[in-house]
């Protein structure tokens, strides 16, 4: 008989894939609308550049995949000193696809190979579950906030439509529904 945790994960798997896709769409929207001059602008103090933040996000995703789902193709890491906005967008799209595969397998309720989420080599592994998705989303939301704040402080504020658009989840769901090869949620409502 399936356990309650198994039943929850079976329901969560497809939703987690779409949620992470919407999360990545937010990253893509920020980069698309970021003034190119802000990409490498050096903030005062010992603070990462916007380019470094986005490459860090991608590189951490590759670590999650490598440590948690080594049977999946691990994307190449990005070099923060050389990475362009276009390279970051492509890298993030690829690492988002691998993270979506990892989430689908881990949270799909099946007998997949993924039993634990390993977020770092020094951290204790967690059994797969909703905490895995929450951790991944919180990490990226934290860095998106940094990017928005830095862009503003450096004199390159993002357009207001971008800030407001981050809360237009109906549009984000519609945008990610157009992504090829993304498992779609059937008959689920997000109100």
pLDDT in tens, 163-175: 888 888 788 878 8
Q: What is the model's pLDDT at position 165?
A: 82
Let me know: does 116 contact 126? Beta carbons within 8 Å. yes
Average pLDDT in the 76-81 region?
95
pLDDT range class, residue 8, cuts 50, 70, 90 = low
Q: What is the model's pLDDT at position 164?
A: 83
**Contact partners, residue 187, CB within 8 Å, separation at least 6:** none
pLDDT, tens digit, 9 for 90 and up, residues 140-163: 999 999 999 999 999 999 999 988
Look over the chain and give the mean of its residue pLDDT values, rounded to a whole number.
87
Q: What is the model's pLDDT at position 189?
A: 35
Average pLDDT in the 114-129 region?
92
Per-residue pLDDT at 186 exceeds 60: no
How far apart are the C-alpha atoms of 18 and 16, rounded to whole Å? 5
**Higher confidence at residue 180 or residue 135?**
135
pTM for this predicted structure:
0.86
Instruction: Please give the distance of CA 36 from its chain centroid, rounded to a whole number.
Output: 22
How far apart are the C-alpha atoms of 152 and 155, rounded to whole Å? 5
């Amino acid at each position: 008989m399936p356990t309650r945790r198994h039943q929850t994960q079976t329901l969560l798997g497809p939703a987690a894939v779409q949620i992470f896709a919407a999360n990545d769409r937010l990253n893509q929207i920020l980069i698309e609308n970021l003034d190119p001059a802000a990409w490498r602008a050096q903030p005062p103090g010992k603070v990462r550049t916007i380019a470094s933040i986005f490459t860090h996000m991608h590189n951490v995703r590759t670590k999650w995949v490598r440590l948690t789902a080594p049977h999946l193709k691990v994307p190449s890491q990005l070099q923060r000193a050389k990475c362009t906005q276009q390279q970051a967008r492509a890298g993030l799209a690829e690492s988002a696809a691998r993270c979506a595969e990892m989430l689908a397998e881990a949270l799909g309720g099946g007998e997949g190979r993924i039993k634990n989420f390993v977020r770092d080599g020094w951290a204790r592994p967690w059994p797969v579950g909703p905490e895995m998705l929450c951790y991944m989303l919180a990490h990226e939301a934290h860095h998106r906030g940094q990017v928005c704040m830095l862009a503003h402080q450096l004199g390159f504020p993002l357009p207001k439509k971008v800030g407001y658009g981050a809360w237009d989840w109906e549009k984000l769901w519609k945008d990610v529904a157009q992504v090829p090869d993304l498992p779609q949620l059937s008959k689920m409502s997000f109100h």
